[in-house]
Amino acid sequence: MKKRLVAVLMTAAMVCSMGSVSAVSVFAEEETAEAAGDEDVVYVDPLEAEDGLPFAATELSKGKTIGVSVQTHANAFFLAEIDGVKATLEKGGIDAEVIAPDPANDINTQVEDITQMVARGVDVIFVDALDKDGIKPALQEAERASIPVIAIDSNVEDKDLIASIVESDNVAMGKMAAQTLCDSIDGEGEIVVINWSTLQAVRERVEGLKSVIEESYPNVEIVADQDAFGVVEDAQSIMESFLQTYPDVKGVFAINSPTAQGAAAAIKAAGLEGKISVVDIDGAQNDIDMIKEGQILCSPVQFPKTIANKAMECAELIWAGKEDEVAKHYYVSGDNITEENLDQYDGSTY
């Protein structure tokens, strides 16, 4: 969490890169809201409470069984989503059961896990979907059993099957990282994307990148885009291949922390550290360490515990019969961690 409590909204966020500072469009939130169409969009300030948990569970959660299906337990972000649910209960002094099986990045396993949650009769399901379309059978099972589902971090295609979505503003964070990257290479040259294109949240990050290039950096070219699925070793192998195929590459847009770790390792092994700019999105402790070591330039920070906290608040409203008070779409605002503001972060958002 930020050590100094400051008002951080994406509309005021600044992105920095190796001695240059550029302002993110002050219309970032308005653009994202417009992209959401007619949905009821609400922004959540993760710094409303110093611990990132503005809401404390009440007696409404007592004795409930809460199902949480994240994408994998091998990533700190997803574990923090689970921890956010538990921390919200603990903050309110409430005893409830949290079920959180590990689908290990397999959509079929995730669907089966949720189906079993439904059979068990959980009171709510929070799902960070591995595939926005492939998750549909699980959502339908929950609907048939009248179990509310709240999407966290990644949206789903069939929005009528969920009560709400609580996520990071991935488009805006993609723009933050993109502007830092493009500024660092003086607005021209070849860059590569190490992706995870099956995830809706990641698609939105890359959408933010492409939007920034199209609007402001016509001389920056994406010469390659390949999925590493958030696996460090795969990202390293892909980056090694990119370095062979595109010797003039100047920058890397890595979609999350493990991806950046792999890319940075390949760059270091090739003796090119400091010559190729790398950015990612996550803001985990690994990212903070990599910024300190000069391996990456920036990492727009996410607040997974706050995402889970807001999902818990929505669940309680539903249990209280106040569904009309639950917005269809919540964005948890973020900030861009760079060398310039590194001292304000300690990695505890995870």
Residue in 296, 299, 303 with CA at minimum distance from that of residue 348: 303
Rounded CA separation 94/290 (Å): 38
Domain chopping of the chain, boundaries: 14-23+170-301, 41-168+303-336
pTM for the model = 0.84
Instruction: Report CA torsion sign: 180, 183, 187, 189.
Output: negative
Residue in 133, 77, 93 with CA at minimum distance from that of residue 282: 77
Rounded CA separation 181/249 (Å): 12
User: What pLDDT is stored for residue 334 in this prediction?
Assistant: 86
Rounded CA separation 58/95 (Å): 10
Cα dist. 19→140, 180, 338, 339, 340 in Å? 51, 11, 11, 10, 9
Rounded CA separation 4/239 (Å): 36
Contact 345, 283 (CB under 8 A): yes
Buried b (16+ CB within 10 A) or exposed e, 151-177: bbbbbbeebebbbbbbbbbbbbbbbbb
Contact 312, 83 (CB under 8 A): no
User: What pLDDT is stored for residue 224 in this prediction?
Assistant: 99
The answer to whether domain 14-23+170-301 and domain 41-168+303-336 are alike in fold is yes
Tokens coding 305: 């515990």
User: What pLDDT is stored for residue 29 in this prediction?
Assistant: 46
User: What pLDDT is stored for residue 345 in this prediction?
Assistant: 84
Contact 337, 289 (CB under 8 A): no
Per-residue pLDDT for the chain (350 aa), expressed as one digit of tens each? 444 333 333 333 333 333 333 333 333 444 444 444 446 899 999 989 989 999 999 999 999 999 999 999 999 899 999 999 999 999 999 999 999 999 999 999 999 999 999 999 999 999 999 999 999 999 999 999 999 999 999 999 999 999 999 999 999 999 999 999 999 999 999 999 999 999 999 999 999 999 999 999 999 999 999 999 999 999 999 999 999 999 999 999 999 999 999 999 999 999 999 999 999 999 999 999 999 999 999 999 999 999 999 999 999 999 999 999 999 999 998 899 999 999 888 766 66
DSSP 2-38: -SS-----TTT-EEEETTEEEEPPTTHHHHHHHHTTT
Class of domain 14-23+170-301: alpha beta
Instruction: Report CA torsion sign: 121, 126, 130, 132.
Output: positive
User: What pLDDT is stored for residue 39 in this prediction?
Assistant: 61
- CATH code 3.30.1360.120 for 41-168+303-336: no
Residue in 137, 140, 134 with CA at minimum distance from that of residue 154: 134
Cα dist. 110→63, 66, 209, 213 in Å? 25, 16, 29, 35
pLDDT tens per residue, range 178-217:
999 999 999 999 999 999 999 999 999 999 999 999 999 9
Residue in 266, 254, 302, 253 with CA at minimum distance from that of residue 78: 302
User: Reading across the β-sheet that carries 298-301, which strands appear in turn?
Assistant: 219-227, 188-195, 249-254, 277-279, 298-301, 335-338
- Report the amino acid identity of residue 265: A
Q: Which residue has the tokens 């966020």?
A: 13
Contact 107, 136 (CB under 8 A): no
